[in-house]
Structure 1
Amino acid sequence: MEIAPMASGRLILLGLLGLVVAEAAVFLVAAQAFGSFVVLFTLFATSVFGFLVLGRMGKRLVGRLADMLSRRDPAFGEAGAGGVLTVIGGILLVLPGFVTDAVGLLLLVPAVQKKLIDRGPVRRSRPSGRVLDLDRSQWRDIRDTHIPDGNKSDDRRKPRR
């Protein structure tokens, strides 16, 4: 099911408005239960913690990306994805509010990161360790025209443009 651009913009706006209302409601309930000073101090402390996470992981992630680019390694892998989730968690911690803080703290937990990476839409396939054994009648060789076979009279060895 594809959502029209106008409808998706409205959904995003509605989601952000819902987040603001939820943050305000949680803030008011927490302030009434624990006191305004404690709630404000907690929000400030989680923002500082978020900045610390971003400072630490941001440098590490940039270094990892630079290393992969220098080796011309296109595979980002689970470690890179975990770093991105940690940076997103840090950003959510910096934003004021208990709902975003809760989601940000969850994204810092390695078990949650692993679960999200494993369920994510883009993931690297892992070998299962099983062997598929086929009878000769169940498969056939297909000549690959892109790989020269060493036959000098082959016309396909001309350089490609």
Structure 2
Amino acid sequence: MRYLLLFLIIIPALEIGVLLYSGKTIGVIPTILLIIATGIAGAYLAKQQGLETIRKAQQQISYGKMPGDALIDGICILVGGCLLLTPGFITDLIGFILLLPPTRIVVKPFIKRMFRSMINKGNLTIIR
């Protein structure tokens, strides 16, 4: 929880700095257009990846398997899509990392470890 407060203070400050630098370097209009383009591309990509993840989860459930990886993919896609809709280049980079399957494979073990740690500490309870 303490990291969340730090995240909510540092990331917006960095975003403002990067946006100001980008506006100064490439211009205000291209910066705004780039932000809009990443938002549109992110929404499209989130929809495509989300539908594919739902299909995978349904397939795993129909085979009687627990869709654990599909659920983590869904969380990554949800968070990545939200980050891409917020204006800024740092959040866009993190959002694309969470949305694209090749980079999501690298991030998923960290997320699994985080959930396992939360469950072991008693901060997260799984009800079956």
Q: Normalising by structure 1, report the TM-score.
A: 0.59
Gapped regions of structure 1 (runs ≥ 5): 1-7, 124-161
Gapped regions of structure 2 (runs ≥ 5): 117-128
Q: Which has the larger radius of gyration?
A: 1
Contact 2:49 2:99 in 1 (8 A): no
Pairwise CA RMSD: 2.5
Which residue, 12, 24, 39 being the options, matches 1:32?
Answer: 24
The residue that corresponds to 2:107 in the other structure is 116
The residue that corresponds to 1:59 in the other structure is 51
The residue that corresponds to 2:124 in the other structure is none
Q: Does 1:92 align with 2:83?
A: yes
Mapped to 2, the partners of 1:14 and 1:26 lie a distance apart of: 18
| Larger helix share, 1 or 2 | 2
* 1:32-51 to 2 correspondences below 5 Å: 32-51=24-43
Match of 1:113, as an amino acid?
A: R
Mapped to 1, the partners of 2:105 and 2:74 lie a distance apart of: 11
**Percent identity (aligned):** 25
How much does 1:96 deviate?
1.1
Mapped to 2, the partners of 1:28 and 1:41 lie a distance apart of: 14
How much does 1:98 deviate?
0.7
Q: Normalising by structure 2, report the TM-score.
A: 0.71
